[in-house]
Copies of this chain bind each other. A is one copy, B any other.
Amino acid sequence: MKKNKRVTIYDLANELGISASYVSRALNNHPGISEKMKQMVQLKAQALNYRHNTNAANLRKGASSTIGVIVPKINENFFSNAIAGIEEACTEHQHHLIICQSDESYEKEVAAVQKLINLNVDCIIISVSAETSRFKHLEEIMHNNIQLVQFDRTAEVINSCKVENDTRDAARQAVLHLLAKGYKRIAYIGGPEQLPTFRDRKEGFLSAMEAADIVVPWNYIVGNVLTKEKGIAVAMDLLQLKNPPDAIVTVTDYVALGVLQAAGQLGITVPDQLGVFGFANEIFAELISPGLSSVEQHAKVMGRRAADCYFEGKEAGTEVIKCEVLVRRTTK
């Protein structure tokens, strides 16, 4: 009768002349409750507009049937697809998903971790920000008995489940393709090197060049560039060297976009005078002209596997998802 007062299992119990415990069990589908009673309780719950109180249940249970996911940007194709995979698994296993974005900020990432710990989530799936080079917050997750799963951008020192791409090989393949097409002076614009995935790509790049007996000038290697804007600036420098590169490998399609734009400004034609490789196969990669050669990371599969690590109770170990080099028109 009171306005704004939440209907509780006690209200249902009173109306039905049974105990609250019984109502709880009926609502939660416990064995040893007759179908008839379950239905009665359900009906009454609907009639009174009863709402299960998640906070109360989580408090009592000390768990929440919830996975928290933290990614740098929800609107990058790679991450939103990974989230789609995680969501799929959550739906199947009747878990909730809470999505956070760090916006590539270490500070925001730490705040998101704190929030999820406080919320008592059962598992945190994370792909770390570009800024993140200390990982105490990841340790704290585990100290609070929350399962940690890392994917794509992982912290090497943290011993959790990890789902990664074989990005080393992808970078190698990209270089091999460029070499086969006659490019020789290949530059590399990389990512933040505290993260293995970016270190691996660089290694893949360097090893392929070395295997081809090509000396890479020191200034052909640039690090920590993940945005289009930085990509433009770096490419402007590279392309105006005395001995400029004839191809550039990048670690995201956004940087590749910057390279293309810089080339355009300098009147350098792609792919004839310059080959360009992106990474992550963003939606626009196949739409722009010329189509951007890139790497498909199978993000949805990665997300799916990351969630499954939790649902399967896997505590540690690394899974590797193969990625695919997609040759389009920014390379001959």
Contact = CB atoms under 8 A, between A and B. Distances in A.
Interface string A1-17: 00010100000000000
A289 to B, nearest CB: 4
A222 interface: no
A73 B75 CA distance: 9
Contacts of A73: 80
A101 B283 CA distance: 19
B55 A64 contact: yes
18 contacts: A4-B145, A51-B144, A54-B115, A55-B55, A55-B56, A55-B64, A56-B59, A59-B59, A74-B74, A74-B83, A74-B99, A75-B75, A75-B76, A98-B98, A282-B283, A284-B284, A284-B288, A287-B288
Contacts of A284: 283-284, 287-288
Contacts of A140: 49
B257 A118 contact: no
Interface of A: 4, 6, 49, 51-56, 58-59, 62, 64, 73-77, 80-81, 83, 87, 96, 98-101, 115, 117-120, 140, 143-145, 257, 282-284, 287-289
Total copies of this chain within the assembly: 2
A96 B83 contact: no
A59 B53 CA distance: 8
A83 to B, nearest CB: 7
A58 B53 CA distance: 10
Given A77-B75, A283-B284, A52 B145 contact: no
A81 B74 CA distance: 10
A17 to B, nearest CB: 26
